[in-house]
Amino acid sequence: MLEVETEHVLVVPTDLFHRIGHFQGFCPEPERYLEELLRAEHASYRPRAEMEQDPSFKQLIPYVIFRHLDAAGRDHVFCYTRGKGQGEGRLHSKRSIGIGGHVSSADAMAGDLDAYSEGRRREVEEEVVVETPFVERCVGLINDDQTPVGQVHLGIVHLVDVERPAVTPRESEIVEAGFVPVDDLLADLSRFETWSQICLEALFGRVAGSPNRWEREDG
């Protein structure tokens, strides 16, 4: 009988995240965290099945959001429904605005990029086809300790501004996909996975400086 290879995914100790600065929801300061989180002495690759049940570690997840600005200056965001064959079973049938997934030990041995960047590139390439010029930047982190999924994951949010809305699914499990006006998404938040709700509210759903329900716990 053939032995099934165990996937090992990139994780960091949860107490390291707490030492840098714990927050609940969205943090718009990726530079405060990433250099320390991705240091070789902190990051490691551990069996995914074990990590899904171990809140003493956080799995680092690239979460890539595609945005298009139409001729009238209105934001449209790429969104989709997760099919039952895609990734994390606890998120099946949920709407999402995030493309991405786990960084694996194989990413550390592929390409010229660092493992995290290679994992982000691979996940996007596996899930969607991007046929338009774009500009990408890292805009924040997501943490949600209020759900079982969130307790073992830490999202790193990348906002990709595309010149044209030419992003289409490559995976068959990405369904009901397309660019939708942000106002329509904000009006229907309950259909979305928690991370998408957090990002929609934090990035698009409030006037700068006004409070929302995803509050930081430290200054």
- How do residues 5-33 score in pLDDT, each as one tens digit? 789 999 999 999 999 999 999 999 999 99
Q: Assess whether pLDDT exceeds 50 at residue 219.
A: no
**Top-confidence residue, 157 or 85:** 157
What pLDDT was estimated at residue 91? 47
Own/partner contacts of 177-181, CB < 8 Å, gap of 24 or more, are 177/78, 177/79, 177/80, 177/81, 178/78, 178/79, 178/80, 179/66, 179/68, 179/76, 179/77, 179/78, 179/79, 180/76, 180/77, 180/79, 181/74, 181/75, 181/76
- Could you tell me how many residues make up the chain? 219
**Top-confidence residue, 112 or 208:** 112
Average pLDDT over residues 174-191: 95
Would you place residue 113 in the very low, low, confident or very high pLDDT band (cuts 50, 70, 90)?
A: confident
Q: Does residue 9 sit in helix, strand or coil?
A: strand
**Lowest mean pLDDT across 67-76, 105-114, 182-191, 199-208:** 199-208
What pLDDT was estimated at residue 206? 57
Give the Cα separation of 46 and 16 in Å (integer). 16
Average pLDDT over residues 51-69: 98
What pLDDT was estimated at residue 2? 47
Average pLDDT over residues 54-76: 97
What pLDDT was estimated at residue 211? 43
**Could you give the domains of the chain?**
8-204 (3.90.79.10)
Cα–Cα separations (whole angstroms), residue 99 to 18, 129, 153: 26, 11, 15
Say if strands 57-69 and 153-162 run parallel, antiparallel, or are unpaired: parallel
Look up residue 115 and give its two tokens. Answer: 């493992």
Task: List, in order, residues 6 or more apart from 178 with CB less than 8 Å away.
Answer: 78, 79, 80, 165
Cα–Cα separations (whole angstroms), residue 68 to 52, 89, 162, 165: 34, 29, 5, 6
pTM of the model: 0.89
Which of 141, 130, 195, 203 shows the shortest CA–CA distance to 167? Answer: 130
**Top-confidence residue, 158 or 208:** 158
Q: Please, what is the average pLDDT of the chain?
A: 89
Cα–Cα separations (whole angstroms), residue 162 to 171, 181, 184: 20, 14, 19
Would you place residue 184 in the very low, low, confident or very high pLDDT band (cuts 50, 70, 90)?
A: very high
Query: Please, what is the angle between helix 30-37 and helix 14-21, to 10°?
Result: 140
What pLDDT was estimated at residue 159? 98
Q: Assess whether pLDDT exceeds 70 at residue 207.
A: no
What pLDDT was estimated at residue 87? 52
Which of 75, 56, 57, 55 shows the shortest CA–CA distance to 67? Answer: 75
Q: Assess whether pLDDT exceeds 50 at residue 110.
A: yes
The structure tokens 């990051």 sit at 43
